[in-house]
Amino acid sequence: MSCPQSVSTATACPQSTPHDAVEAIFFVTATADPGMVQRLVEPFSKLGLVPTRVHISSENGQGDEFSADLRVAGLTRQTAHLVDKALRRIVGVQQVITLAE
């Protein structure tokens, strides 16, 4: 049984091993707040990870919400699942979509 290409937040890939390195992409929608960017990067920092891409933009005309695209290469699906859970716990985060390739 092989793991799907996308990681759902409800389930992690049960057969992943530490040697199954993937690139994880986290798409986040959050309230525009001066400290939000710092809070979004913190789960990566706590795990000693440096994102390969961080792109944040205000998508609506009012400027009260933004979208973030955070990417990290070389982590396991299990670690991607842990980061996903950490991002969802941040106050002000409205949505997290995680893909692991």
Alpha-carbon gap, residue 96 to 98, rounded angstroms: 6
Question: Sign of the CA dihedral 92, 41, 56, 98?
Answer: negative
Q: Is the model's pLDDT at 97 over the cut of 50? A: yes
* Per-residue pLDDT tens over the stretch 34-61: 899 999 999 999 999 999 999 999 866 7
Q: Provide the mean pLDDT of the chain.
A: 84
At 101, is the pLDDT very low, low, confident or very high (cuts 50, 70, 90)? confident
Q: 22-100 in CATH: which number?
A: 3.30.70.260
